[in-house]
Amino acid sequence: MKSLRVFPQIVAMVALLVPCMTSGSDVKKPVLTQGGLEHRAADRGALADDGTLQYLSLVDGLSNATETCEAKGLARLLARNVGNATQLLLEQGDTRAAVKVPRERENGYHLVHCPDLPAGSYTAYLIEGTKKSGGATVLLRRPSSPSIKRTSFDPSTGMVTILGANLNQPVLVKFAGGGVVKITGSDPGRLVITLPSKVTEGPMVVSSESGNSNELMFTPMRSEDVLISINHLAGIPTDRLRVEVGKGNLHPVDELGRARIGMPLTSVGIANLLFYKNGFAEPPIVVGSALTYPQSFGVITMTADTTALATVWRVVRPERAVDARSIAKLGAYALKMPLIRDLAGLIRDRQLQNLGYLSDRPRSPELEGAITRAGDALFEEVITMLEDGRLAKKAD
């Protein structure tokens, strides 16, 4: 099966504009596993001579938050090859305490009682005799510290709902980008706040006098209208159409061909128009797409041209090198490029014969060739526009 050609110049462009942060061939970054943070490199994981202790992770029994431990509370210890480790040590400067690691396991985990220490960030180690594992950062909470399990955001009202525990106290809700909300909650499991203006995508935390909560990733969203203006799709029942934003986030289409969606506020996104040809029990086909731009508000019109651009954009990924402030400018320019318009004409013509043209796998050589040519052209324009200053470079 043929696949889209990889654009080798992208690697050079990204390497130039977003330098790699690793150094040395033997140093690997930690990776996420189902059990939490796994430290694979020798100097990031355990340093035992025999390699017995490799990594550790704690999961709070109350909030189910990874890398979190409640003082005097039970936590699940996840560690590879624990061996004969007998103690879990938490350390912060001169403050330290160790607890026993039981030999027996329950449901595949070692259950430990976390040390009775002040709330804060600690480095955790496993101890086996005179050997000490590599450290892992652990957030120690007090029993009254807030914890958060999940969040939801309604872009139409600007309200954020936070679900968790111990939220019925004076707290500060801190967002990436500097946004802070001060509030005294009345419900221990639920907090509703208005999203502040200075918010970017990143970790959110709830803090109180008794300590900080675990962190959760938060993506600010905006509410937008999508107007479907793809003439060759006229006649398709709107009750079988959905606009998808992100995996499985579906929005109905009304009789006027409009859909109300929530999109990321600070990053480029793609809205896909799905057609459930044989009902919702079977997978849909993609019949249209459109880009949504950061900090851009208004109606998004979905056409054959926007579908062509979104198809090429998925391959080139200009946002890896272009600053968010220039993304909308680049998108408007790209819509006028001849090869993007040629691709749009091809999609329009072929969908008249086969609505599943974009979803067919393997793709036709004709479609792959058109996408590749348009992608090459878009990439070259991005490089030129970055060099002559028409586009702002993404910060390192």
Give me the residue spans of the domains in the chain.
34-141, 147-218, 221-387
d(CA 63, CA 89): 22
Q: Which of 255, 268, 260, 250 is nearest to 224 (CA)?
A: 260
Q: Where are any strands of DSSP class E within 9-82?
A: 31-33, 36-38, 55-60, 68-70, 74-80
Residue 328 near residue 293, CB atoms below 8 Å = yes
Residue 279, phi then psi, degrees to nearest 5: 95, 170
Predicted confidence band of residue 80 (pLDDT cuts 50, 70, 90): low
Question: Which segment of 41-50, 54-63, 161-170, 331-340 scores lowest on mean pLDDT?
Answer: 41-50
Instruction: Return the SS3 of 143.
Output: coil
CATH of 34-141, one of 2.60.40.10, 1.20.1250.20, 3.40.50.300, 1.10.10.60: 2.60.40.10
Q: What is the pLDDT of residues 33-62, one digit of tens each?
A: 333 333 333 333 333 444 444 456 677 665
Q: What is the pLDDT of residues 243-267, one digit of tens each?
A: 988 777 788 999 888 888 877 767 7
Residue 56 or residue 387, greater confidence: 387
Token pair 């390192």 in the structure block, residue: 396
Residue 234 or residue 180, greater confidence: 180
Flag whether pLDDT at 396 surpasses 80: no
Report the C-alpha dihedral over residues 327, 333, 339, 345, rounded to 10 degrees: 100
Residue 274 near residue 287, CB atoms below 8 Å = yes
Q: Is the pTM of this model over 0.85?
A: no
d(CA 103, CA 59): 18
Residue 53 or residue 226, greater confidence: 226
Q: Report the topology of domain 221-387.
A: Immunoglobulin-like (2.60.40)
Domain pair 34-141 / 221-387, same fold: yes
Q: Report the topology of domain 147-218.
A: Immunoglobulin-like (2.60.40)
What is the mean pLDDT of the segment spanning 146-172?
87
Question: Which segment of 138-147, 193-202, 237-246, 289-298 scores lowest on mean pLDDT?
Answer: 289-298
Residue 255 near residue 241, CB atoms below 8 Å = no
